Amino acid sequence: MPEPPSPPPAQAPAPWVGRRIAHLDMDAFFASVELLSFPELRGQPVVVGGGRRRPGEPPRMRRLREYAGRGVATTATYEARALGVHSGMGLMKAAALAPDAILLPANFEEYGRLSRLFKAAVAELAPTLEDRGIDEIFVDLTEVPGETVALARRLKEAVRAATGLSCSIGVTPNKLLAKIASDLQKPDGLTVLTLDDLPGRVWPLPARAVNGIGPKASARLEAMGLRSIGDLAAADPRDLVAAFGHSYGEWLWEAAHGRDDRPVVTVQELKSISRETTFERDLHPRRDREALTGILVDLCQRLGGDLERKGRRGRTIGIKLRYDTFQTVTRDHTLDEPTADPKAILDAARSCLRRVALDRPLRLLGVRIGSLERPDAGPAQGAGDQDRPGWLFPLN
């Protein structure tokens, strides 16, 4: 009896041609960090939000149904997401969807520590990376030796070894497609796409899957009968320009065809820093004047600390208010000299507050500083000296 023919030898992957850009996104980052501390919660719906945990403070663990307030979900595990909970959702609404989910306060200090660890681990293998936030980066792998899939696996293994956490990676010829690809097989995904994969893998996706197409643009596209990325690619670019303007209309068509020549930017100039908080209940500028004073002081102190850590000072201080009607107002004040001093930030914020109506309850208060620059001298004097100022929240 003749022997069966031997299988053909395995073919090596075709060499990558052109740029090779990865987008690495940590999986449900904040929630996953919490599961490192509470492994007994793995497999359960967990929501992070409703407050923050101070260093050394034990967490308050409770069922979501027990929550009452105005907080929002910072993030949620995939089990909670399967029940309809998502980042930015009000916790009262989330409680209606997942009443038995576990609610944990956010631990931003620990999130920051693990963020630095995973980025350092990636930089050891691929030093050209662009920081896109606490839980995601772009990585230029063009000049890094190794076959694409094997290299992506090495990155994933390095992240897990450094943090104990999983990530999802998309590798494509550019940043736009890499961002899409990293989301296709979450969690713990690895997706490699070339331009030849556009018709089968990218064009069937909804248009909103493209980073830069938000809810309003998505709704307008749908009204034009353009629901998928493929619909957008097949559209007449002249129609897109007529509907959205020259710049954005042309970009929509180019993005649908997977075209993006933006480089991976290793150093980004910081333009502004802000701090804001949404209140558990509406606060009235008169009845809750002392509470608002404390919140404003805290925001300005945190902003001053952010500036010192980042080595920046700023000239333009702004405030942001959201009333109980959901109307949002902002005001800015530009200083003669740049500062990182919480007292100067506080004084400028008060000046801004005197220029808005303070006759309605407030849902949110925020403080921002822009026109940033690097200081020539040492740290700003007086930082941290305003633990309890002698003034209260202004009343116009």
On whether residue 43 sits in a domain, the answer given is: yes
Question: Per residue in 364-384, pLDDT tens?
Answer: 999 999 988 887 544 443 333
Range of the domain at 38: 30-107
| Per-residue CA distances from 297 to 107, 190, 239, 360, 390 (Å) | 21, 45, 50, 21, 11
At residue 5 the predicted structure's pLDDT band, cuts being 50, 70 and 90, is low
Same domain? For 332 and 349 the reply is yes
Helix axes 215-223, 246-256, angle to 10 degrees: 80
Residue closest to 63 by CA, chosen among 35, 83, 91: 91
Same-domain check for residues 139 and 217: no
Residue 92 lies in a domain: yes
Identify whether 341 is part of a domain: yes
Helices (H), 51-206: 78-81, 91-97, 108-125, 148-163, 175-181
Selecting among 136, 157, 222, 373, the annotated active-site residue is: 136
Q: pLDDT tens across 164-194, in order?
A: 999 999 999 999 999 999 999 999 999 999 9
Q: Does 276 share its domain with 360? A: yes
Segment 53-82, tens digit of pLDDT: 776 677 778 899 998 877 788 889 999 999
Q: For 312-339, what is the mean pLDDT?
A: 92
The CATH number for 175's domain is: 3.30.70.270
Are 162 and 248 members of one domain? no
Helix (H/G/I), strand (E/B), else coil: 372: coil
* Whole-angstrom distance, CA of residue 174 vs CA of residue 339: 39
Confidence band of 4 (pLDDT split at 50, 70, 90): low
- The pairing of beta strand 190-192 with beta strand 167-172: parallel
Residue 14: pLDDT band (50, 70, 90) is: low
d(CA 23, CA 171): 7
CATH of the domain at 70: 3.40.1170.60
Residue 308 known to be catalytic: no
Point out the domain boundary residue: 155, 175, 197. 197
Question: Is 70 exceeded by the pLDDT of residue 245?
Answer: yes
Residue 215 sits in a domain whose CATH number is 1.10.150.20
* Residue 56 counted as domain residue: yes
Task: Judge whether residue 391 has pLDDT over 70.
Answer: no
Tens digits of per-residue pLDDT, 279-311?
A: 878 899 988 888 898 889 889 988 988 888 888
Buried b / exposed e across 19-41, counting CB within 10 Å, b at 16+? bbbbbbbbbbbbbbbbbeeeeeb
Provide the CATH number for the domain around residue 327. Answer: 3.30.1490.100
50 confidence band (pLDDT: 50, 70, 90): confident
Give yes or no: residues 84 and 123 share one domain.
Answer: no
As a whole-number percent, the residues of the chain with pLDDT over 70 amount to 89
pLDDT, position 396? 56
Instruction: Tell me which residue of 217, 125, 212 sits closest to 162, measured CA to CA.
Output: 125
Hey, is 136 helix, strand or coil?
Answer: strand
How high is the pLDDT of residue 390?
Answer: 46
**What is the phi-psi region of residue 133: left when phi exceeds 0, alpha when psi lies from -120 to 50, beta otherwise?**
left
- Supply the mean pLDDT for the chain: 88
For residue 153, pLDDT over 70 is answered with yes
The domain total for the chain is 4
Q: What is the mean pLDDT of residues 249-256?
A: 96
| pLDDT score of 53 | 76
Q: What DSSP letter does each residue of 205-224 carry, written as one string?
A: SBGGGSTT--HHHHHHHHHT
Instruction: Write the pLDDT tens digit of every residue in 78-133.
Output: 999 999 998 878 888 999 999 999 999 888 889 989 999 999 999 999 999 999 88
Cβ-Cβ contacts under 8 Å for 30 (sequence gap 6 or more): 48, 74, 75, 106, 111, 135
Provide φ and ψ at 33, rounded to 5°: -60, -40
pTM of the model: 0.69
Q: pLDDT exceeding 90 applies to what percent of the chain?
A: 64
Q: Which of 197, 217, 245 is the last residue before a domain boundary?
A: 197
